[in-house]
């Protein structure tokens, strides 16, 4: 029993317990959950084991996924099949179920959000910051000087990129403001700031739509329909600025 306990504990700590087999090389039997509970007594190790089981279950279910909030969230979401998920009940983050982009990005499509690619060298880079898509999205834009210069000098791209970046920063301000207000709403002298919190939430959502509208507008070429989109975007931006 001590040997089994040490073996299973090591496997759990290494996140290798789900598919582990009997340590005897000729035996392919897998320890059951009941057997693991009877051998491992540490509550901390058991908690890690249960988390591993939960991760495996979510990965195996096509209609389940984890919340993609980059700030960290352990909530499990049910995919609705519509492409854009409902807000997470724990952190209110809205994830996209159709692509690897970390949040829902309406009105931009998933293909818009995936990445941009240099026509000369096929170098993939991020729309928001122009940093490389691979390997870790942390290094600075690393294409040839001529291509990099051309990308920055293309006025249409630069204008949309700057507007997109501005709205993302403004959205972060709205989120920061909402968090600041939330931290003081329990003070005795301040009875109710719900209307201010609601305004901050609407402001954050509007900035998000405006940011991804820039991506949508950049890729769309249909002038007739884009006139309507640009008019609606301009109207939303004016109202958002007023708010």
The closest alpha carbon to 186, from 176, 194, 195, belongs to: 194
Dist CA 239 CA 234 (whole Å): 9
Residue 209 Cα distances to 55, 152, 204, 240, angstroms: 32, 24, 9, 11
Helix or strand or coil: residue 22?
coil
* 206 confidence band (pLDDT: 50, 70, 90): very high
- Model confidence band, residue 145 (pLDDT cutoffs 50, 70, 90): very low
Count CA atoms within 13 Å of residue 226 on its CB side. Answer: 11
Task: Please state, in angstroms and rounded to a whole number, the distance separating the CA atoms of residues 122 and 114.
Answer: 14
pLDDT at 65 over 70: yes
Task: Domain ranges for the chain, please list them.
Answer: 1-56, 61-104, 115-242
Own/partner long-range contacts of 136-145 (Cβ < 8 Å, ≥24 apart): 143/118, 144/120
Res. 222 pLDDT band, cuts 50 70 90 = low
Residue 132 — φ and ψ, nearest 5°? -60, 145
Percent of the chain past pLDDT 70, that is, above it, reads 73
Cα maximum dimension of the chain = 75
Summarize pLDDT for 86-100 with one digit per residue, the tens: 678 888 888 877 776
How far is residue 94 from each of residues 73, 76, 168, 238, measured CA to CA in Å?
Answer: 12, 12, 15, 24
Note whether 201 and 243 are within 8 A (CB).
no
Reduce the DSSP state of residue 104 to 3 states and report it: coil
pLDDT band at 143 (very low <50, low <70, confident <90, very high): very low
Phi, psi angle pair for 13, to nearest 5°: -65, -25
Half-sphere exposure in the Cβ direction for 23 (13 Å, CA) = 10
| Range 107-129 average pLDDT | 63
**What's the CA angle centered on 117, arms 169 and 119, to 5 degrees?**
135
Virtual torsion, Cα 229, 232, 236, 239, nearest 10 deg: 160
Distance from C-alpha of 194 to C-alpha of 209, rounded to nearest angstrom = 23
Determine the average pLDDT of the residues in 204-214. 90
Interatomic CA distance for residues 119 and 143, integer angstroms: 11
């Amino acid at each position: 029993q001590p040997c089994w306990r040490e073996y299973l504990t090591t496997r759990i700590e290494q996140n290798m317990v789900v598919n582990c087999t009997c340590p005897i090389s000729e035996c392919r039997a897998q320890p059951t959950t009941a057997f693991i509970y009877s051998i491992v007594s540490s509550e901390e190790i058991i908690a890690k084991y249960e988390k591993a089981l939960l991760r495996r279950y979510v990965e195996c279910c096509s209609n389940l996924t984890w919340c993609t909030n980059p700030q960290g969230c352990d909530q499990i979401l049910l995919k609705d099949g519509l492409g854009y998920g409902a807000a997470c009940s724990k952190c209110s983050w809205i994830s996209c179920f159709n692509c690897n982009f970390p949040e829902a990005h309406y009105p931009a499509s998933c293909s818009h959000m995936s990445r941009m690619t240099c026509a000369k060298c096929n170098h993939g880079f991020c729309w928001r910051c122009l940093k490389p898509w691979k390997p870790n999205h942390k290094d600075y834009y690393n294409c040839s000087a001529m291509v990099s210069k051309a990308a920055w000098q293309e006025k249409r791209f630069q204008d949309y990129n700057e507007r997109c970046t501005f709205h993302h920063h403004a959205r972060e301000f709205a989120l920061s403001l909402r968090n600041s207000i939330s931290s003081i709403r329990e003070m005795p002298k301040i009875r109710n700031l719900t209307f201010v919190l609601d305004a901050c939430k609407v402001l954050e959502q509007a900035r998000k739509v405006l940011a991804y509208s820039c991506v949508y507008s950049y890729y769309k070429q249909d002038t007739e329909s884009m006139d309507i989109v640009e008019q609606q975007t301009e109207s939303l931006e004016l109202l958002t600025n007023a708010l």
